[in-house]
Amino acid sequence: MFECYARTMRCHVEPVWGWDPEFQRQGFARGLSLGSTKVVEVNGEFGGFVWLQKSPESTMLRLICLDPRYQRSGIGSRLLMALVARVRRLRLKVFKTNPAVALYGRLGFVPVAEDDHMVEMVHVGAAAGTAGRPKPHHAPTWED
Ligand SMILES: CC(C)(COP(=O)(O)OP(=O)(O)OC[C@H]1O[C@@H](n2cnc3c(N)ncnc32)[C@H](O)[C@@H]1OP(=O)(O)O)[C@@H](O)C(=O)NCCC(=O)NCCS
C-alpha cells in the first residue's frame, strides 16, 4: 500500500512538504493504524486502497489511491459513490493542486475550509455523480 501511496501522492506532497522516504513510510504506517483500510481489488489484483477514519459525527476519507493503471476509468467515482451511500457525512482533505478536486465537486462534495495548500470538502448530496459517464472496464471490489 505504501508503494501505491508513494507512486500516486508523491507528486502532490513533495512540492509542499518535501519527501523523505523513511519519514513518509513511518507516518503512513502510523496513520493507517488510526483508521481502517480497505484494499480495492481489480480483476483479482491489488488495484489500490481506501483509508477511512470514523468519528461519531462523520467519516474522514484520509486517502483514496488507485494504481495508475486503473485511474481515470471510472473506478474512483464508483467507489466514492458507494462510500457516500454507506457512511455518514463523508469528509476529505485534498491538495488544491490535485485534479481530483474537480471529481469531488462533480460527485457532490463542497469546500468547507481551506489553508494554503489544502481544501476540506464534505459530501452534501446529489450532484452529477456518475450519470452519463462510462462504466469502468474493470470491476473494483472491496476486501474488508
Ligand atoms: C483520485 C482518484 C482516486 C480518482 O479515481 P479515478 O478512478 O481515477 O477517477 P474517475 O475515473 O472516476 O474520474 C476521473 C476524473 O477525476 C479527475 N482526475 C483524477 N485524476 C486525474 C488526473 N491525474 N488528471 C486529471 N484529472 C484527474 C478528473 O476530473 C477526471 O475526469 P476526466 O477523466 O473526465 O478528466 C485516482 O485518480 C487516484 O488514485 N489518484 C492518485 C491519488 C490521489 O490523488 N488521490 C486523492 C487524494 S485525496
Number of domains in the chain: 1
Predicted confidence (pLDDT) at residue 129 exceeds the cutoff of 70: no
Confidence of residue 60 (pLDDT cuts 50, 70, 90): very high
Question: 48 pLDDT exceeds 70?
Answer: yes
CA 96 to chain centre: 14
**d(C-alpha 64, C-alpha 79), whole Å:** 9
Residue 144 domain-assigned? no
Q: Quickly state the pLDDT bin for 88 (edges 50, 70, 90).
A: confident
pLDDT at 114 over 80: yes
CA–CA distance, 80 with 74 (Å, rounded to integer): 10
* CB 71 less than 6 A from any atom of ligand 1: yes
Q: What local confidence, expressed as pLDDT, does residue 141 receive?
A: 72
pTM of structure: 0.90
> Quick check: is 120 in a domain?
yes
Q: Is position 111 within any domain?
A: yes
Residue 35: its pLDDT value, please?
87
User: Is there an atom of ligand 1 within 6 Å of 50 CB?
Assistant: no
**Across 108-137, average pLDDT:** 81
Residue nearest to atom 19 of ligand 1 (CA): 100
What is the pLDDT at residue 21? 96
Q: How far apart are CA 77 and CA 127, in angstroms?
A: 12
From the CA of 102, give the closest atom in ligand 1: 29
Please, which pLDDT band fits residue 34 given cuts at 50, 70 and 90?
A: confident
CATH number of the domain bearing residue 79: 3.40.630.30
Please give the distance, rounded to the nearest whole angstrom, from the Cα atom of residue 135 to the centre of ligand 1.
Answer: 15
- Segment 109-137 mean pLDDT: 81
Domain assignment present for residue 69? The answer is yes
Determine, yes or no, domain membership for 141. no
Q: Which range of residues forms the domain containing residue 30?
A: 2-135
- Residue 142 placed within a domain: no
Q: Is residue 119 part of a domain?
A: yes
Nearest to 51 by CA among 26, 25, 28: 28
Is residue 143 assigned to a domain?
A: no
Q: Which of 92, 98, 102 is nearest to 8 (CA)?
A: 98
Q: Does the C-beta of 53 come closer than 6 Å to ligand 1?
A: no
